[in-house]
Structure 1
Amino acid sequence: MKNKAILQICSTCNSAAVKQNPERLATECPEGEKLLGAVQSAVKADADLDGQLVIQAARCMSSCKRSCVVALLAKDKYQFVVGELDSSADRVDDLVAFAKSYVEAEDGLPQWRERPQHIRKNTIARLHPFPSEFSNDS
């Protein structure tokens, strides 16, 4: 049985071009917010993911030099932090494909070669599954 997964998207991330122009920074919608909307639409349209992937907005994931940043996590699965994303169709497709393979992988570890190239090259961290139980025994 597949566990539902959570995709957290930093909604405050901005692209390098926007960061370098203070006027744009003050007036434009953050790139992370655009990515969030684009991914929500893509997941809703994907019958394999709709209901299996929860999309959440996150505020600043502290990886501003690698923005836009997302985290993908689920109970008893590896967790990923991926950066260098944007709201372009290619990046949204990459992210949705990766999320789909993540949901389908029992341990949340899709085969490396099966991950979209952009995801492979821009994975910031892969964290081991969080222990489901803690023991206070010494």
Structure 2
Amino acid sequence: MKNKAILQICSTCNSAAVKKNPERLATERPEGEQLLKAVEALVVADEALCGKLSVQPARCMSGCTRSCVAALMDASKYQFVIGELDSSAERVDDLVAFARSYVEAEDGLPEWRLRPQHIRKNTLARLHPVPSIPSTES
């Protein structure tokens, strides 16, 4: 059975635009929480992702200078940390499109030029798949 990919979204993040407006910080849900809800709604409705991607909240991913932050992972694939996200329709579509291509790519490495431009420019890290640990049992 194949692993289910995981998309974690920092639910406590606020984008730079929100941070510049203290009134919004006091009255609105965090931008990351809004992003999480918008992405969840699209993933549930996407046949290519349904059952293949779990969207999960994460509390502070320490990417505050590049927030909002999300991480896309699967133990057998490359893993990505992406920043400069927000809950706008464009960013939500970018993240879901990238998640779709990630799930479809056997190694989790979608072709660079096919990734949404915002994702290409705001990938903070690409981690290699988790290596197998040799068994010490004989």
Q: TM-score range by the shorter chain?
A: over 0.9
The Cα offsets for residues 12-39 of structure 1, whole Å up to 9 and x where unpaired, read as 0002122123332122110000000000
Equivalent in the alignment of 2:113:
113
1:29 and 2:42 aligned:
no
| CA drift at 1:2 | 4.9
What secondary structure is seen at the aligned counterpart in 2 of 1:71?
Answer: strand
Paired position in structure 1 for 2:125: 125
How far apart, in 2, do the equivalents of 1:91 and 1:2 lie? 28
Aligned match of 2:41 = 41
Determine what percentage of the aligned residue pairs are the same residue: 76
Runs of 4+ with deviation above 2 angstroms: 20-24
Given the two structures, how large is their TM-score scaled by the length of structure 1?
A: 0.93
Distance in 2 (alpha carbons) for counterparts of 1:13 and 1:94: 18
Question: C-alpha deviations, 1:43-87, integer Å up to 9, x for none?
Answer: 011011011000000001101111110000002100000001111
SS at 1:126's partner residue? strand
Secondary structure in 1 matching 2:54? strand
**Counterpart code for 1:82:** I
Q: Classify the secondary structure of the residue corresponding to 1:102.
A: helix
Q: Secondary structure at the match of 1:61?
A: coil
Q: Which runs of 5+ in 1 are unaligned?
A: none
20-29 or 44-53: bigger deviation = 20-29
- Please give the alpha-carbon distance, in whole angstroms, between the structure 1 residues aligned to 2:46 and 2:106: 20
CA contact (8 A) 1:3 1:103 kept: no
Distance in 2, matches of 1:101 and 1:17, equals 29
